[in-house]
Chain A
Amino acid sequence: VSTPSPMPVITGMGAIAPTGCGIDELWQGVMRNRTTFAPIVHFDASRASTDVAGFVTLPGCDAGSPERLLELALVAIRQATAAAGLDDLSDAVLLVGTTDAGAELGGWESGAPPPCNATIAGMLARRMGIGGLATGLGNASASGAAAIALAGDLVEAGEARAVIACGADTITRTAYYGLHSLRVLSPEGSRPFDARRMGIRISEGAGAMVLEESSSALARGAGSTCRLAGWGVSNRASHLLRSSSRGIAEAMLRALDRGGLARDDVAYVNAHGAGTMQGDAEEIEALRDVFGPALPAIPINSSKPVLGHCQGAAGMLETIVTALAVAHRVSPPTYGLDAVDPRWADLDFARGSPAALRPGIGISLSSGLGGINVALALAPPGT
């Protein structure tokens, strides 16, 4: 941390994803396409268009365990708070984004509902000794990113010195068959921006980051990976199931505006890039609207071919990737991109190999059902 700033700094990050456990595993995974996709065995997935999903390794806690959501989040939060060197959590705020309703897990009638969107923040706060506001966020696939945006608000408003933002999700039968009913599960996995893209591959995982008021972090000698330089949220849609390029563009412009950033400052975009026909097209249209003729010079990358779609954790894990990309000044490759959609042949998707980044801001985009869009701007420390 160089100089105090009203924008929060990120002092710690944690991740558990199909790429492995830890930030290094996440980074190496997205750089080298190291991941774990496997057939679903904890419920019958045979009636869907595919039975493959992205899994994490969590010893002692099976994929179908009611405690899995809580355990995933705990792993990520512990990593993040340890990396931040944040020992006293009694005043910290906890925000947890997840899509997990817990309805299929049972146990509610016994008076002990499982970890789910309504209960997980309180459960985690108790386990971790977190004493500030603790709440869940239910913003669909953008839940993890929305947690970061809300963390930005809390720090900027001076209501919290340290916020732990988390996104976590498991693979539930409800979500799996629900997405199958929408015909967005792809047997080939996610192939963002490819002409023959067919949809998503669902995954589980959790990510967490500690965001702190910069002078507070400075005072306790904490280092930072990145600065949250701007954030913007929009909900602009004409239909719950259809994203809107205008909404995505507005979220980006809001993030740039909040951080006092120019479009020229942006050196990298980590797209939502789910690999759906409609969603990818809306996202690229939004990027063209915002960056105009400068867009071909900005590497655009999607982490979903490697991570899968980690649902409520997706926005968090991809923001961590963005932070690492701007810190290392390299964009991970976009894998699974065999034939770029001809409409976007002029764009740089870091296809097949990493792309060097010029110094600048990274933008992480997340979208979810209902028309929610979150844009997060990440700046390397000292900028």
Chain B
Amino acid sequence: MDASVVVTGAAWDRSDAAWPCPTELHDDPDVVCSALMRSVVWATRTARRAWLQSGQGDADPARAGCTLGTLYGNDYISEYVSGVLAARGPRWLNPEAFGFAAPHATTAAICIELGIGGSALTLVGPTSGLAAVAGAARALVLGHHDVMLCGAYDWPSALGGQLYRALEAPFTPGHRGAAFLVLEAGGHAAERGARPLGRILGWAARTPVRAGHGDPTALGHTMREAARRAGLGEGVAWNLLDVRDDRLRLVEEEARRAVPTAGGWVAPPERDPSTVVGPVLSLASALASASHPPSGRPTMVSALGATGPYSSLLYQQP
């Protein structure tokens, strides 16, 4: 049996679009709900592109799952509730809105829209995007599902931007980003004749206690662990995907010197500044680009966040 994990779909979207929930909408029940939903609708639309590209229209709902990562998630709903409650005079909360308050609401909306009925987890944190991809790959390796939609999304408000800044993550006001991959058990993909964009080889994540934010030794350790889990023998070289977070780039550059098998940099076609979405978006765009791999080597993509997590994931294109 083919126990590999392959990627059969990839889609992303990023732009500096206006934030969908201006506070002046609080008093207008006709528009507040649709305004609040814009983020969910946009993420769902992007996920659908990956799903359809993978040819999953007829996927068995019970054998398909979803794992997403986000940092700010749908916390703007809490902002909306807070804003309404703090206002003077009569106040009215849109009951539909609260259903979207949990970060999981976006995951759930995607599951409903695409007919995904299996496991659905929503990870929240500074490197949750890459952790979500790893989680999806894990679910396939364990045989729990045949197909997993995974990825990351974020469309922070001004308050969400403060969270990003507090976590030392690059942030552009109004910026939104989403990236989704469709992972599939290799045997399942082969059976239906799907053309893999790449293979997920291994992954690792750590929150080293003594390492601060941006510790090259800690990142090097995570990279080596991902390579070990990928079953790469000593001396097998791999490249590094340049996700162009300046801080990560510097840390990776230092980590690279400490890891003998770390090779050169590979520039993905698209980048995003978010520590949550950025690595997944770079990965998605690299996988979708047939001309991307210059050497045929495995490639490592990494993420780090201010509260200490380091994540690395190794993939290879055909």
Contact = CB atoms under 8 A, between A and B. Distances in A.
B8 interface: no
A154 to B, nearest CB: 7
A131 B310 CA distance: 10
Interface of chain A: mostly helix, strand, loop or mixed: mixed
A99 B112 contact: no
B104 A140 contact: yes
A153 interface: yes
B61 interface: yes
A207 to B, nearest CB: 18
Interface stretch (B174-182, B185-193, B202-210): B202-210
B117 to A, nearest CB: 4
A118 B124 contact: yes
Given A139-B102, A371-B108, A235 B119 contact: yes
Nearest to B168: A111
B166 A372 contact: no
Contacts of B216: none
B146 to A, nearest CB: 14
Chain B interface extent, by class: 35 or more
Interface string A239-258: 11100000100100010001
Given A139-B104, A159-B138, A112 B166 contact: yes
Contacts of B305: 122
Interface in A86-127: 90, 94, 99, 101-104, 108-109, 111-113, 116-119, 121-123, 125-126
Contact of A235 (B108, B123, B206): B108
Interface in A134-186: 134-140, 143, 146, 149-150, 153-154, 156-157, 159, 172-175, 177-183
B144 interface: yes
Contact of A153 (B66, B142, B163, B308): B142
B100 to A, nearest CB: 7
A233 interface: yes
A233 B307 contact: no
Contacts of A103: 75-76, 78-79, 82, 159
Contacts of B96: 241
Contacts of A156: 142
Given A118-B72, A181-B93, A108 B120 contact: no
A157 B102 contact: no
A123 to B, nearest CB: 6
A199 to B, nearest CB: 13
For this complex, into which size category does the number of interface residues on chain A fall?
35 or more
B133 interface: no
A369 interface: yes
Given A125-B209, A131-B206, A104 B82 contact: yes
Given A235-B111, A372-B104, A173 B61 contact: no
Contacts of B138: 153-154, 157, 159
B81 interface: yes
A371 B307 contact: no
B93 A131 contact: no
Contacts of A130: 207, 209
A129 interface: yes
A241 B167 contact: no
Contacts of A177: 81, 85, 93
B102 to A, nearest CB: 4
B78 A183 contact: no
Interface string B61-92: 11001100011110111110110010000010
B170 to A, nearest CB: 15
28 contacts: A47-B91, A102-B75, A103-B76, A108-B159, A117-B75, A121-B307, A122-B305, A122-B306, A122-B309, A123-B307, A125-B207, A132-B206, A135-B124, A135-B127, A135-B128, A135-B131, A138-B102, A138-B122, A139-B122, A173-B82, A177-B85, A178-B81, A178-B98, A182-B95, A235-B66, A241-B96, A258-B144, A371-B112
